[in-house]
Amino acid sequence: CMDSIQVTLVQSFPDLSITTNQTPASCSITPDGNINVQATGGSGNFLYSSNGTTYQGNNSFTVADGTYNIYVKDGNGCKDSLLSVLVPKINSVVVDAEPDTFICEGTSYKINATTNAPSVNWFPTTGLTNTNSLTPTANPANTILYYITATLGSCTRMDSVKLNIWPAPVAEAGDNIDICYGISAQLNGSGGIEYQWSPDPTFISSRDISNPIVKPSATSIYYLHVKDIHGCRSLQTDAVTVKVTPSVKIFAGNDTIVAMNQPLQLHATETNNSGVTQWEWSAATYLNNPLIASPIATFPSPVVTAPYDYVYMVKGTTPAGCQGTDYIKIKVYQGPEIYVASGFTPNGDGKNDFLVPVPVGIKDLKYFRVFNRWGQMIFDTKDPGRGWDGRIRGIDQQTGVFIWIAEGIDYTGKLVTRKGASTLIR
């Protein structure tokens, strides 16, 4: 069986409705944001909840920033909700890492950041002296972007600064240089627009140019630093060596005498090991080869005009072009012969004080002997550079005639014997 009855339902209270007002949170660690809930409709006696489980009679919630769901229940247990109520945060942190900048490779830079926050942190840490300072010193090897995070309570804010690295210039001091003693050299640097050479003592021009002039007295090394258009300085010096060849000192040999047509072996030497490799004699007359150190000279006749000498200059040259010269005088006589003066004056004036043999074309003087008028030998020598001083046993002899005899072997191997008389004059 079935029956029915019509019932009329009457809504005793209006629908429950929720609105909210939010107060933003600050940077405080302690939550200080607020949600104030207004409920209308329903039966009154409202209870409020921010999680749908725990209800309270107070319609105000102190919360941190975030999104919340709000629930309201009236006295009859009727419920309503308002979802995704946003409590914002006012971030009062201000931070400025300063503008991007350029620095030179190998240099440091002090960053000057500003903030109202009590603490900061930098990242990455590469090349920084202090990652928790507003003014750390940075020394990066390459271009880098640094980030700073400033923290005030629960608030943070980030900024960045880019340090662009200008590569350091490379100093080029130029090729090594060889010079002769007493000659200046010009250095040739490159790699920058400003130059600084060292050390100082041998520069004879400004050291702050690319091509200064130096005049070292001995082999020296010079070092160069440069700066480029950005003011960046080279990280390392470059060096150039100026090799100084010592003063070339040449010895052409002692002045000498020679017989006509007697081959005379000349022999030039350098006395300070400068490294001479080229020789030149001038004039080349009567020399078999003027471009060697030891040519052979053969003279067909003596010089008949003053100063009665053949004079030769020899020049020695090193691979660096350094030169030295010396001279030799050669008297040419008829010979082979042994010449002795017809008189001498042993008075100590330095002129004709000795009776000496002058062997011309004689390769070996066997003896030179002096005798008095009674035939007694009063002087004997084999040294052609030694002569009689006019004394016997240290006693000066008076004016008189003395006999001499000399014998030697000439350059062809023949025996040459000569004798004569010379007058001692007081």
Residue at 7 is within a domain: no
Please give the Cα distance from 205 to 37 (Å, whole number). Answer: 89
- Would you state the structure tokens that stand for residue 168, as one six-digit string? 């350091």
Share of the chain above pLDDT 90, in %: 85
Provide the pLDDT for residue 319. 86
| Residue 360: Cβ within 10 Å count | 23
Last residue of a domain, one of 132, 166, 200: 166
Name the pairing type of β-strands 343-344 and 415-424: parallel
pLDDT digits (tens, 9 = 90+) for 66-96: 999 999 999 999 999 999 999 999 999 999 9
Q: How far is CA 181 from CA 14, 178, 205, 243, 317, in A?
A: 118, 10, 18, 9, 13
Residue at 63 is within a domain: yes
- Would you state the structure tokens that stand for residue 74, as one six-digit string? 């009236």
Q: How far is CA 412 from CA 177, 295, 416, 417, in A?
A: 52, 19, 11, 14
- Average pLDDT in the 33-60 region? 95
Question: What does pLDDT average to over the chain?
Answer: 94
In total, how many domains does the chain have?
5
Residue at 8 is within a domain: no
Please give the Cα distance from 303 to 330 (Å, whole number). Answer: 10
Provide the pLDDT for residue 321. 86
Provide the pLDDT for residue 306. 73
Closest CA to 222 of 191, 189, 180, 179: 189
- Both 291 and 278 in one domain: the answer is yes
- Both 329 and 256 in one domain: the answer is yes
Provide the pLDDT for residue 23. 97
Residue at 237 is within a domain: yes
- Both 134 and 111 in one domain: the answer is yes
Last residue of a domain, one of 27, 52, 87: 87
Please give the Cα distance from 39 to 82 (Å, whole number). Answer: 11
Please enumerate in sequence order all residues whose Cβ is within 8 A of that of 67, keeping only pairs 6 or more positions apart, or say none.
Answer: 84, 85, 86, 87
- Average pLDDT in the 91-119 region? 96
Closest CA to 178 of 85, 133, 241: 241
- Average pLDDT in the 163-184 region? 94
CATH number, domain with residue 206? 2.60.40.10
- Both 324 and 369 in one domain: the answer is no
Residue at 2 is within a domain: no
Residue at 1 is within a domain: no
Closest CA to 302 of 290, 286, 326: 286
Is the pLDDT at 17 greater than 80? The verdict is yes
Is the pLDDT at 9 greater than 80? The verdict is no
Please give the Cα distance from 216 to 28 (Å, whole number). Answer: 75
Provide the pLDDT for residue 3. 80
Q: How far is CA 195 from CA 171, 198, 204, 223, 227, in A?
A: 9, 10, 16, 10, 7
Q: Taking the CA atoms of the chain, what radius of gyration do you get in angstroms?
A: 57
Last residue of a domain, one of 145, 166, 187: 166
CATH number, domain with residue 38? 2.60.40
- Average pLDDT in the 103-112 region? 96
Closest CA to 318 of 245, 382, 389: 245
Provide the pLDDT for residue 335. 86
Provide the pLDDT for residue 273. 82
What is the residue range of 138's domain? 95-166
Residue at 172 is within a domain: no
DSSP classification of residue 156: E
Higher model confidence: residue 109 or residue 246?
A: 109
pLDDT digits (tens, 9 = 90+) for 215-240: 998 999 999 999 999 999 999 999 99
State yes or no: cis peptide before 283, omega within 30 of 0. yes
Please give the Cα distance from 107 to 164 (Å, whole number). Answer: 12
Please give the Cα distance from 331 to 306 (Å, whole number). Answer: 11
Provide the pLDDT for residue 10. 66
Name the pairing type of β-strands 119-123 and 144-152: antiparallel
Please enumerate in sequence order all residues whose Cβ is within 8 A of that of 51, keeping only pairs 6 or more positions apart, or say none.
Answer: 69, 71
- Both 366 and 321 in one domain: the answer is no
Name the least confident of 178-187, 226-235, 410-419.
178-187
Closest CA to 405 of 355, 373, 368: 368
- Both 348 and 382 in one domain: the answer is yes
Q: What is the DSSP string of 286-312?
A: TBS-TTSSS-EE--SS---STT--EEE
Share of the chain above pLDDT 70, in %: 99
Residue at 9 is within a domain: no
SS3 at position 65: coil
Closest CA to 207 of 191, 182, 221, 224: 224
- Both 238 and 286 in one domain: the answer is no
Please enumerate in sequence order all residues whose Cβ is within 8 A of that of 92, keeping only pairs 6 or more positions apart, or say none.
Answer: 26, 27, 116, 152, 155
